[in-house]
């Protein structure tokens, strides 16, 4: 028996062709497409303005591989971590981060990760597969609904900073952003979306060539090659010099200000000499620097930098180097939802 096709892998034109071939009216395709992407229908039964026979035709021909929420954990600071189950049983995590000015969805792009950054819980997992564009879309739609139902506030921002490396799932990530920003989808502004990368120079250049409209964040964490390679093995193939060239190229192509993410570790990258190296690197393009508190994980020897030293580090960048700096305090640490802590502890569900 032929396997049913995932209908969300089809374009609107392909759905029109399907209906034409079945002798159905083409306007039905527009209705179906709206149900899938604007109304986020997860079953054909929910498409109530279609006849029963049309819904059965769809049911017999296609599947909707919608993701489901299998667990919600609420932090004392109101951050919510979600465990999502994919159609094949894989488990990923996504986070709703509420702050006074923003309601942000932090979403995943891969099941696991292949980059093995030493400070990151996700990096200790195997990469099982890339997440499809419709599965990425589902994370946003579910977290958006969660923000509206739990906090009565609409979703304002999306960050691709969850599990996995987005630029190693390039096509699906860009396809998901097209759906999220489309008037046929969630109609969110691309300026409200940030894609974060550990640093793959050739793919950063490709973003420039594709003239993307969303924001780019580079996870730097050290501004000399020796230190960076110790904590981020990807640096051995993507040196700081190659990243510098790629970032300049990206900015020239898009005109977009770049964000640099810098997790500050006690007695590793928290000195004023480290700050000077960071400033020298970041000055290559208009930018802002996000200094992130380290969130301890099991099996890693790093420690959170002293608050006083973190503040001195930030002040040096602001006062001496005239750079825009934000110090990001941890959110959701008590439920392992903070930066670097997404470790997929619901993995055992796969065996059930």
Say what the pLDDT of residue 295 is. 80
- Examine the fold and report which residue of 17, 32, 63 is the final residue of a domain before the chain moves on: 63
Strand bridging mode 157-160 / 193-197: parallel
**Cα–Cα distance, 130 to 139 (Å, whole number):** 14
* pLDDT value of residue 343: 53
Examine the domain organization and report whether 164 and 53 are in the same domain: no
CB 108 within 8 A of CB 164: yes
Global pTM value: 0.92
Taking the C-alpha atoms of residue 37 and residue 48, their distance in angstroms, rounded to an integer, is 15
Question: Do 172 and 51 fall into the same domain?
Answer: no
Token code pair at residue 317: 């960048």
From 63, 92, 107, the end of a domain falls on: 63
Q: Residue 124: its pLDDT value, please?
A: 73
The answer to whether the CB of 142 falls within 8 A of the CB of 80 is no
Say if residue 167 is in the same domain as residue 47.
Answer: no
pLDDT at 211: 97
Same domain, 75 and 133: yes
Same structural domain, 90 and 195:
yes
The CA distance from 204 to 197, in Å, is 9
Indicate the residue among 33, 63, 93 that finishes a domain: 63
For residue 340, what pLDDT is reported? 45
- Shared domain check, 96 and 9: no
Whether 13 and 162 map to the same domain: the answer is: no
What range defines the domain where residue 9 resides? 5-63
Shared domain for 129 and 33, answered yes or no, is no
pLDDT digits (tens, 9 = 90+) for 304-344: 999 999 999 999 999 988 999 999 876 655 655 545 444 55
CB-based contact 63:52 (threshold 8 Å): no
Same domain, 319 and 196: yes
Same-domain pairing of 58 and 102: no
Number of helices (H), then strands (E), in the chain = 10, 14
299 burial level (CB within 10 Å; 0-12, 13-18, 19+): exposed
| Residue 107, domain CATH | 3.20.20.70
Catalytic residues: 93, 339
Residues of the chain where predicted confidence (pLDDT) is lower than 70: 1, 123, 298-300, 330-352
- Supply 85's token pair: 């189950």
State whether 141 and 285 are in the same domain. yes
- Other C-beta atoms closer than 10 Å to the C-beta of 304 total 16
Same domain, 30 and 91: no
CATH number of the CATH domain containing 46: 1.10.150.530
Domain count, the chain: 2
């Amino acid at each position: 028996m032929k396997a049913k096709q995932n209908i969300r892998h089809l374009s609107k034109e392909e759905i029109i062709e399907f209906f034409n071939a079945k002798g159905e009216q083409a306007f039905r395709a527009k209705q179906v497409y709206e149900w899938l992407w604007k109304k986020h229908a997860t079953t054909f039964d929910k498409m109530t303005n279609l006849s029963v026979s049309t819904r059965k035709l769809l049911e017999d021909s296609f599947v909707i591989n919608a993701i489901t929420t299998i667990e919600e954990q609420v932090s004392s600071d109101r951050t919510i971590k979600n465990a999502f189950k994919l159609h094949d049983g894989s488990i990923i995590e996504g986070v709703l981060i509420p702050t006074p000015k923003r309601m942000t969805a932090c979403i995943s792009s891969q099941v696991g990760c292949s980059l093995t950054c030493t400070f990151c819980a996700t990096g200790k997992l195997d990469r099982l597969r890339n997440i499809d564009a419709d599965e990425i879309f589902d994370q946003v739609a579910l977290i958006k609904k969660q923000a509206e139902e739990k906090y009565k506030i609409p979703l304002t921002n999306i960050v691709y900073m969850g599990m996995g490396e987005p630029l190693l799932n390039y096509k699906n990530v860009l396809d998901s952003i097209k759906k999220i920003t489309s008037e046929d989808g969630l109609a969110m502004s691309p300026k409200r979306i940030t894609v974060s990368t550990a640093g793959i120079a050739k793919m950063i250049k490709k973003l420039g060539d594709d003239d993307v409209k969303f924001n780019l964040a580079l996870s730097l964490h050290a501004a000399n090659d020796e230190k960076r390679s110790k904590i981020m093995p990807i640096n051995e193939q993507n040196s700081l010099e190659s990243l510098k060239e790629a970032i300049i190229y990206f900015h020239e192509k898009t005109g977009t200000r770049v964000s640099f993410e810098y997790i500050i570790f006690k007695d590793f990258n928290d000195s004023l000499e480290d700050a000077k190296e960071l400033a020298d690197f970041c000055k290559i393009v208009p930018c802002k620097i996000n200094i992130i508190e380290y969130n301890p994980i099991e099996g890693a020897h790093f420690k959170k930098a002293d608050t006083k030293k973190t503040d001195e580090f930030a002040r040096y960048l602001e006062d001496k180097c005239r750079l825009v700096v934000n110090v990001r305090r941890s959110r959701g640490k008590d439920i392992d939802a903070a930066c670097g802590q997404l470790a997929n502890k619901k993995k055992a569900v796969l065996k059930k």
